[in-house]
Amino acid sequence: MTDPRAAYAQARQTLIDEIREHGHAITGSYVGRQALVLTTTGARTGQPRTSPIAYSLDGDRYVIVASKGGAPEHPAWFRNIEANPVVTIEVNRLTFQARATVAEAAERERLWSQHVAVHPVIGEYPSRTTRVIPVIVLEPIDQDLVVTTSLGVASARH
């Protein structure tokens, strides 16, 4: 019998590897979805922690949500961001640092709606939990980084 945790860990690692190698998923449930690799600094350990996450764009900012599939608790990476807001993003074969901030009030609602328009299944998650699912904005620290929103493709300015 296959250990479900081991199968999940393997699928997660495959997704990370595909995003790094191809710039997007080529197998599994993330095919056709905008996904990035997020590396945070562990709040307790100080060690790097890497997660594949669906994203949407808001101008030159990346938007992610701490949904954990509608679980009752926030994902560990969200606690890491709260403790250490400087993160590393890998998207479309680029790697760069960004500053994470939690969207509040009207901005949160606007960004949530935009994100759900790109990733409709995420819109179901609030019905599975009593917590408010955080919306996080990732702003590239290097201002020379540009994002082409019409294609969802990041590129570096020379």
Residue 44 makes CB contacts below 8 A (sequence gap 6+) with: none
Q: Report the pLDDT averaged over residues 114-128.
A: 96
User: Can you give the pLDDT at residue 145?
Assistant: 55
Write down the pTM of the prediction.
0.87
Closest CA to 91 of 121, 58, 117, 62: 62
Determine the Cα–Cα distance for residues 100 and 66; give it in Å rounded to an integer.
12
Q: What are 45-91's pLDDT values in tens digits?
A: 999 999 999 999 999 999 999 999 999 999 999 999 999 999 999 99
Question: In order of start, what are the domains of the chain with their CATH numbers?
Answer: 4-143 (2.30.110.10)
- Token pair for 6: 């081991």
**Residue 65 and residue 103 in contact, taking contact as beta carbons nearer than 8 Å:** no
